Amino acid sequence: MYKVLLAVLSSAFVLCLWLLPVLEKLAEKKGLVTHQSPGKIDKRKVPYIGGPGMFLVFFTVCLSAYFMVPLAINYRQFCLFMFCSAIIVFFGFYDDVKELKPAQKLIGQSIGAVIFITFAMRTQIIYFSAFVNITLSLFWIVVMVNAFNLLDILDGLAGGISIINIFVFFLFGIFTNNHFVLLIASCLFGVLFAFLRYNLPPARIFMGDAGSQFLGFAQAVMAISLSFAPTGREVGLVIPLVILAIPLFDLLFVIFMRFRQKKSIFLKSNDHFVFKMLQFGISSRTILRLMIIISVLTNSCALIIFLVSNIFGAIIFLSVIGALILFGARLSRLEISQ
C-alpha cells in the first residue's frame, strides 16, 4: 500500500509542477491576476489561478489511484468528497473572479458541507446526539474553510502550514489504518510541495480563495473521518483543534480585533496577526519561518496528546491554548501602544 501512496505523491508532485507554470502564463494572458484595492497591503499583480490547478491535479491523481488500486475506501464517501470539494473550489474561484458577498460565499460553502455531512460522513461523538453531531460537523467544516481562507495572506503561509498538518493527519491515518485519509493526504502532500515551489516568497502564483477553501475543506473532512478518541481516551477529541491551531488562532484573532474596533466580522480588514507583525518591521520570511516552527510544535503536541493519559493530554492542550492566547494578547497590546 505504501508504494501506491508514494506513487500517488510523486505523480501529484510532477503533474502539479508541470501544470502551474502553464496556468501562470494563461492567467497573465487572461488578466486573472490580483488587483489593487483601497486598504490592500500587497500591491503586486500575481496570478490567482493556483487553486483550480491544485484541485485539477488532486482530482485526477486521486480518482486514478482509487479506481486503479484496491484500497479500503467507502465508494460513496470518496465520490461525495470529490464532488463536494469541486463545489467548494467552484464557488471559491467564482469569488476570486467576481468577489462574492459574505452571505453568498457562506451559501456556497454550506452547500458543499451540507451535502457531505448528509450523505457521506459526520462526527460520531458518542456523548452527543445525532442532531448535535450533524450541527457540529457543519459548523466545523464551514469554520475551517473560512479559517484557511483568512490564513492565505502571506506567501507560502497557508500551503506551508497545510503541509505540516497533512503530514500529521497522514500519521494518524497510519495509526488508525484509515485508507481514505492516507490517499487524500498523500495526494495533497505532493500537490502542495509542487505549489510551494511557486508560492514561497516572492510568490509567482497564488492559490486564491479556490485553493485556500479547498485546503480547509479537505483538512476538516480528514479530521472528521479519523478516530482520535477511543474508549477511555476522551482527551483525544481536542486533537483536531491542536493540529489546526494556527488557522483557528488567526480566525479568532481577527474576530476579536474586529469586535474590539466595532467592525463587522464579515468585512475585509488588515486585522490578521500576520499584518500586525509586518507593521512592527518583521519580514515576511521571518514570519513564515516562525509560523512553521509554531505549527510543528502544536502538531507535535497533538501527537503527544494521542499517546498520553487524559490528565496529561488536558494539561498539554491547555498549555497550547494559553500560549496562543498570550501571543495574541501581546500582539493586541503592541498595536494599542503604537
249: its cell numbers: 488562532
Q: Are 212 and 149 in contact (CB under 8 A)?
A: yes
Q: How far apart are CA 127 and CA 54, in angstroms?
A: 37
- pLDDT under 70 in the chain at which residues? 36-43, 231, 265-269, 334-338
Q: Are 148 and 215 in contact (CB under 8 A)?
A: yes
Q: How would DSSP label each residue in 97-140? A: HH---HHHHHHHHHHHHHHHHHHT-----TTS-HHHHHHHHHHH
Q: Are 56 and 26 in contact (CB under 8 A)?
A: no
How many other C-beta atoms lie within 10 A of the C-beta of residue 124? 12
How deeply is 35 buried, as exposed, middle or buried, from its count of CB atoms within 10 A (0-12, 13-18, 19+)? exposed
Quote the DSSP letter at residue 264: -
Q: What pLDDT score was predicted for residue 220?
A: 97
Structural domain of 168: 2-337
Q: Are 172 and 305 in contact (CB under 8 A)?
A: no
Q: How far apart are CA 154 and CA 167, in angstroms?
A: 21
Q: What pLDDT score was predicted for residue 2?
A: 79
9: its cell numbers: 505523491
Quote the DSSP letter at residue 47: B
Judge if the upstream peptide bond of residue 247 is cis by omega within 30 degrees of 0: no
For 182-230, give the secondary structure using H, E and C: HHHHHHHHHHHHHHHHHHCCCCCCCCHHHHHHHHHHHHHHHHHHCCCCC
Could you tell me which of 90, 64, 92, 89 has the C-alpha nearest to residue 78?
A: 64
How many distinct structural domains can be found in the chain? Answer: 1
Q: How far apart are CA 298 and CA 142, in angstroms?
A: 22
